[in-house]
Structure 1
């Protein structure tokens, strides 16, 4: 497989594979926030999945650039990359939010009351409301 990636026609695939290997070398706190990456015009673009990860990257951008230099020296790949840019892909963030909203289905609990209570209301309207509540409770138990 490596000989295929070294051919000029698969250069882009090789770059993607190498950038994925570089991302696997990053610390876990950074790696978890990456949605995808790509190289263009000698810049490695890293797309983040959430806006909070952008701040984490800004605090550790020097570490990431240092790791890139070490990776370039040791693996002799990604040599054309001279800078790293990060951005938030709101498409991935939107999908994550929608996914979390789908999961957040409210739990439905069974009726815990048996409808056994004394209706001490003296007003006829309030008395009727309590009796309708009792009817709903008994209906929910079925």
Structure 2
């Protein structure tokens, strides 16, 4: 247990050393960004690959495009309001007013998503056939002679299709 305290003490003293100020700031910024993760729903947290900060920009990397899309549409406002409510916690990320927050999908995840075994040509080659559910029993209210004739042709075709289905069985 004492070695853990010593390790924590060593890390703390390194991060507080002025020579490692940039490393300390990066470490604290990363810890702050990890706290932002709590503002997201659990499913989104589980599909979050990483959070990165660049001056005036926070980027949330997701493993699937649907999570990035949902984040960009609905969750950015939650993140910004969280930053505004807890300004002291996120002092490394200020100024919040000019901050941009975006969700994206890294290239390696996009490549994985587009490389699937699905082949559209096999679906297009299939002959698609639908069974007619109508029995041709409807009232033809068309007052125009040509339109009335078209509906009667449709009725005849439906009855013919139903009779051919019965004969095929």
TM superposition score normalised by structure 1: 0.54
2:85 is the alignment partner of 1:66: no
> Which of 15, 40, 55 is the aligned partner of 1:41?
55
* Equivalent residue number for residue 21 of structure 1: 35
Q: CA RMSD in A?
A: 3.0
Contact 1:5–1:14 (Cα < 8 Å) also in 2: no
1:86 Cα shift? 1.6
TM superposition score normalised by structure 2: 0.47
Greater helix fraction, Structure 1 or Structure 2: 2
Q: What CA distance in whole angstroms lies between the structure 2 residues aligned with 1:71 and 1:89?
A: 29
Where do 5+ consecutive residues of structure 2 fail to align?
1-10, 118-169
Q: Count how many residue pairs are aligned between Structure 1 and Structure 2.
A: 100
Larger Rg: 2
Contact 1:45–1:86 (Cα < 8 Å) also in 2: yes
1:14 Cα shift? 2.3
Where do 5+ consecutive residues of structure 1 fail to align?
102-142
